[in-house]
Amino acid sequence: MSVAFTETDKLKVRDISQASRGRTLIDWAEARMPVLMQLRKEHAAKQSLKGMRIAGCLHVTKETAVLVETLRAAGAEISWSGCNPLSTNDEVAAALAANGISIYAWHGMNVEEFYWCIDRTLEMKPTLTLDDGADLIFSVHNRHPELATTIIGGTEETTTGVHRLRAMAADGALRYPVIAVNDAETKWDFDNVFGTGQSSIDGILRATSVLLAGKNFVVAGYGHCGSGCALRAAGMGANVICTEIKPTAALKAILNGHRVMPMDEAAAVGDVFITATGMKDVIVGRHFAVMKDGAIVCNTGHYDCEINITDLEAMATSKREIRANCEEYTLADGRRIFLLAQGRLVNLAAAEGHPSEVMDMSFANQFLSMVRLAREGRNLAKGVHDIPEEQDQHIAGIKLQTMGTCVDALTPEQVAYLTDYSSGT
């Protein structure tokens, strides 16, 4: 891999000469993101984001590039960073840089560099922030609070980010309105389930090439993301075991045909483990202590705290890289545990993140939320706001149209029937 950086006063990427390869990837994504491309056309004509300065912190993938270029086409000035040290596609970053976008992102950065990149994007004094994991919003609140007064609003892409922002809002600490993109139906029922399901399996296979059929596949957390992983692993013939803390989620897992048990039991029987909880310390030392020789462990949650790697490091007598994104830890009794992507999101670090087709809807929500904030953000209260139901239906409607699928409409008589409490059976 090239170690040269391309750096100017408005960008830092690994190597801008990779731009043409990145452009090919972006072209591929564009062809699979018809909703966002339609919005691009409509809002480029209207210049709906003219005068807006958008700082974004979201995985630099080919899909994100389509979002970034759509925001710019609608008139916004952009400054971007990646939201995870291992998720940036350097070729895509180069293509954005070559297209005149201010971007600070490269694959394999350390945590200090990660925050340096965020700080550089904030130099533009944004009017809007666009987050995945809320690190940009936290940076504004913790390190650059003076910027909060001129920021109109922000958006948040992912479950764990929304959780933290709701906690901040409940404490009265959130200083501007934020739209919870994650909680849109056209986001979490598709991106979180089908996107995470497919891309996490993709990451595990690229990092290991193991056969999933017949394996005990342990999914920690049966929320949207975990249920997607369970669904896809089961489809490939794995025996899925789920761990949960929430009784209703555990019941859903059972009725979908999976086994449920505590992690303390699952640890001893699992062949492959994936965490999707948004919680820290889901797999810790006492679990590694009973795992089978050869167990594969990975995470698909946003933050890298679900697997306690400090415990694993302390228990290991040696460690070596087997292949990209697959490290072997040997314990004192000779058992080997394989950790994928250093415990960071396996789907983005070891594969390419979610497929373009689902990101189309997530990013259509991001885009329309930015337009809404530009238009009416000044009138929105500080706090976390949901996506309006009409936006969900609008996005799903365009998506169906681009797929060539038509749906029925209620007749006026049927609409009246919906609220008619006088008629019985």
Which spans of this chain sit near ligand RBV (rule: CB under 6 A)?
A: 59, 61, 63-64, 132-133, 157-158, 191, 195, 302, 348, 353-354, 359, 362
The least CB distance from residue 18 to ligand RBV, in Å, is 18
The least CB distance from residue 202 to ligand RBV, in Å, is 11
| Residue 348 and residue 59 in contact, taking contact as beta carbons nearer than 8 Å | yes
Output DSSP code: residue 291.
Answer: P
In the bound state with ligand RBV, the residue whose beta carbon lies nearer, of 63 and 244, is 63
Cα three-residue angle 362-364-366, rounded to 5 degrees:
70
In the bound state with ligand RBV, the residue whose beta carbon lies nearer, of 6 and 159, is 159
**How far, in Å, CA of 164 to CA of 174, rounded?**
10
In the bound state with ligand RBV, the residue whose beta carbon lies nearer, of 206 and 302, is 302
Amino acid identity at 243:
T
In the bound state with ligand RBV, the residue whose beta carbon lies nearer, of 267 and 345, is 345
The least CB distance from residue 311 to ligand RBV, in Å, is 24
The least CB distance from residue 152 to ligand RBV, in Å, is 23
| Residue 361 and residue 223 in contact, taking contact as beta carbons nearer than 8 Å | no
| Residue 315 and residue 295 in contact, taking contact as beta carbons nearer than 8 Å | no
The least CB distance from residue 164 to ligand RBV, in Å, is 13
Q: Which residue is nearest to ligand RBV (CB)?
A: 353
Neighbours of 257 (CB within 10 A): 10
Output DSSP code: residue 345.
Answer: B
The least CB distance from residue 402 to ligand RBV, in Å, is 18
Cα 13 from chain centroid? 21
In the bound state with ligand RBV, the residue whose beta carbon lies nearer, of 56 and 270, is 56
In the bound state with ligand RBV, the residue whose beta carbon lies nearer, of 202 and 271, is 202
Cα three-residue angle 107-112-115, rounded to 5 degrees:
85
Extended beta strands in 40-193, E state: 53-57, 77-81, 102-104, 128-131, 153-156, 177-180
**How far, in Å, CA of 270 to CA of 242, rounded?**
10
The least CB distance from residue 187 to ligand RBV, in Å, is 7
In the bound state with ligand RBV, the residue whose beta carbon lies nearer, of 128 and 359, is 359
**How far, in Å, CA of 250 to CA of 259, rounded?**
9
